[in-house]
Amino acid sequence: MSAPDEDVAWLVNRADELGQGVARMTVDEIRSLSRSLLDGRQRGEQSREIFASALAASREAVRRATGRWPAPAVIAAVATALAGVVPAVPARMDRQTALAIALYGTASPERVFICRRGTKGAHATR
């Protein structure tokens, strides 16, 4: 495994670990976590731990909105894409999920609204 692959594997595993705690959070707590991560990014803070936390929060937001747990391959594709490499994501639904996670992870939580068709959404904005 090359260094970038090892980084992606670490991020996927760490997002899984952090996801257990994020799954127990309320929507407001997830929104607060997302704001905190964004504020840190805007101050120039960057680390694998922050990135893994962002992946865990966005993955949970997608799960709550769609009822579908994004597969580790989707999280790996997002990590790869945000590192500047175009990943292969074969399934249409997985591509949409990866896009939603990438957007959630790079936008302000107040500007992101993930919803399932025909619903009001699970991660509302103000």
* Per-residue pLDDT at 113 exceeds 70: no
Q: What pLDDT, on the 0 to 100 scale, is given for residue 104?
A: 64
In a domain, 117, yes or no: no
- Cα–Cα separations (whole angstroms), residue 90 to 6, 87, 98: 22, 10, 11
125 SS3 class: coil
Mean pLDDT of the region 3-18: 86
In a domain, 124, yes or no: no
Q: Residue 26: which domain range?
A: 3-111
More confident residue, 107 or 126: 107
In a domain, 24, yes or no: yes
In a domain, 121, yes or no: no
Q: Summarize pLDDT for 50-87 with one digit per residue, the tens.
A: 889 989 998 998 898 888 888 888 888 888 877 777 67
* Per-residue pLDDT at 103 exceeds 60: yes
In a domain, 123, yes or no: no
* Total number of domains in the chain: 1
**DSSP sequence for 11-79:** HHHHHHHHHHHHTTS-HHHHHHHHHHHHHHHHTT---HHHHHHHHHHHHHHHHHHHS-PPPHHHHHHHH
In a domain, 54, yes or no: yes
Q: What pLDDT, on the 0 to 100 scale, is given for residue 122?
A: 47
Enter the DSSP assignment of 83: T
In a domain, 38, yes or no: yes
In a domain, 66, yes or no: yes
Tracing tokens 């990590």 back to the chain, one arrives at 79
| Highest mean pLDDT out of 16-25, 35-44, 72-81, 102-111 | 16-25
